[in-house]
Structure 1
Amino acid sequence: MTNVIIQGGGEHARVVLDCLQAQGLQVKALFDPNYSGDLWGVPQRGVYDPSFMPDARALIAIGNNGVRKRVAAITRHGYTNAVHPSVIASPRASWGEGNMILHGVIIQAQARIGNHCILNTGVRVDHDCIIDDYVHIAPGTVLCGTVTVGEGTFIGAGAVVIPGRKIGAWATIGAGAVVTRDVPDYAVAVGNPARVIKYTNVA
C-alpha cells in the first residue's frame, strides 16, 4: 500500500487528506511550519523533512498556484495523485503526477491534464481540453470541449468556458465568469461575458 505525505496543512490540505483516506491510502504526515499536533490522526510535523520516509509519495496540498510551484521545486519525494472515488474519468483521459482531482469531478475523453493541478469539487472538464501544470480550477467550474488552460492559471468557482477558447498562463478568471473569447497570459478576466480588467506579472 502506498504511503503518502502532504506538503501543506491548511484548509485545502484537509480536503486532500479526506480524499486520500477515501482512496484507502496511508497518509503518514503533513508538513507545514504553521501547524502542529495532528489532523484526523495524522501528525503535522512542521517544516518539510526530505529524509522522512523517502519512499513515500507526496502531494502539495496548497491552493495558491505560485506557492505550489515553489514548494514543488524543493520537494524531494516522488509524487502520487489524489483521485476521489466519486470522480468520473474517461479511460481515454490522461494526467500527470501530483494532481488533486477531488469529489465529484467529471473528465471526458481525450482531456489532458499536466502536473500539480487542482480540479476542485464538482469541476467538469469536457473532451479534448488541455490543462497545463499548476492550474487550479475552483468548485463548480465547467470547461466545455477543446478548451486550453495555460500554466499556473486560476479559474474561479462556477466559471464557464465555452468550447475552443484558450486561456493563457498565470491568468485569473473570476468566479461566475463566462469566457467567450481567448484570455491572454497574466490577464484578470471577470464578468459575463468575461472582460480583461487588468494584468498581473507575478507567477
Structure 2
Amino acid sequence: MYLYGASGHGKVVLEIAEENGYNIEGFIDEDISKIMLLNYTVTHSVPLYAIDVVITIGNNKIRKKIVNGNPLFNYMTLIHPKTTVSKRVKIGEGTVVMPGCKINSEVNVGKHCIINTNASVDHDCAIEDFVHISPGASLAGAVSVGEGTHIGIGAVVIQGVNIGKWCTIGAGAVIIRDVLDGATVVGNPGRVIKMNESKYDQ
C-alpha cells in the first residue's frame, strides 16, 4: 500500500494502516523536499500501474483531483480498530475512519471521505463522496451531507438537516436548518457568510 500525501494527516493515516497490519511501501508526494516521513520513504513520481492507495490529504478538492487523474489506483478503506461502527454501515472505497469515531446504524458513507477523530455520525445519515467531518463534529440522525463538504471541528448538526455540496461548516457551528450548495456557514445558530458562486464545479 502507498499513502498519497506526506503530511500531518498522512502520519495519522499511516498509523491506522499499521494498526490494521498493512504492508506499507511508503508515501507519494509531489513536493521534492520531502524525503522521509516517520521512517518511510517518500517518492515523487506516481506509478503508472495498478497499486493499492489511500489518499492522505485533507483537502477535499485535491482528493477528488487525484482520484480523477489516477484511474488505475486500487483505493483502500481504512478504519481504526478503536472505533464503534455499526454492522449496518456502508463505507465507500478510499474512506478513512479515525480513532474514537462512532457511526451508528444505517449510515451510508461515500468514497474518499474522512471521518476524523472522535466524530459522531448517528443513524440514517447519508454522507456523499469527498466529505471531511472534522474531529469532534456531531451529526444527529438522518442528516445528509453533499459531495465535497467540510464539517469543521466541533460542529453540531441537528437531526434531519440537509447540507449541500461543497459547503464549509465552520468550527463549532450549530446547524439547525438546511444549507444550500456552496455555502460557508458559521456561528450558533449557523448563518451563511459566503456563497461560492462556482458551487460544486470542481
- TM-score above 0.5, yes or no: yes
Corresponding residue of 2:135: 139
Q: Kindly report which structure 2 residues correspond to 1:165-180, keeping only aligned pairs within 5 A, or say none.
A: 165-180=161-176
Matched positions, count: 197
Corresponding residue of 1:45: 43
Q: Structure 1 residue 140: deviation in Å?
A: 0.2
Counterpart code for 2:63: R
Corresponding residue of 1:14: 11
Q: Does 1:63 align with 2:58?
A: yes
Identity %, equivalent residues = 42
Aligned alpha-carbon RMSD (Å): 1.1
TM-score, normalisation: structure 1: 0.94
Q: Structure 1 residue 41: deviation in Å?
A: 2.9
- Runs of 5+ consecutive residues of structure 2 not aligned to the other structure: none
Q: Deviations over 1:79-126 (max 9, x none)?
A: 111111111100011111000111111100000000000001000000
SS in 2 for 1:27: coil
Counterpart code for 1:13: G
Q: Does 1:98 align with 2:100?
A: no
Q: What is the distance in 1 between the residues matched to 2:118 and 2:92?
A: 20
TM-score, normalisation: structure 2: 0.94
Q: Kindly report which structure 2 residues correspond to 1:1-203, keeping only aligned pairs within 5 A, or say none.
A: 4-34=1-31, 35-51=33-49, 54=50, 56-75=51-70, 76-200=72-196, 201=198, 203=202
Q: What is the distance in 2 between the residues matched to 1:147 and 1:50?
A: 39
Counterpart code for 1:74: G
Counterpart code for 2:38: W
Q: What is the distance in 2 between the residues matched to 1:167 and 1:68?
A: 20
Q: What is the distance in 1 between the residues matched to 2:67 and 2:56?
A: 11
Q: Is the 8 A contact 1:7 1:48 kept in 2?
A: no
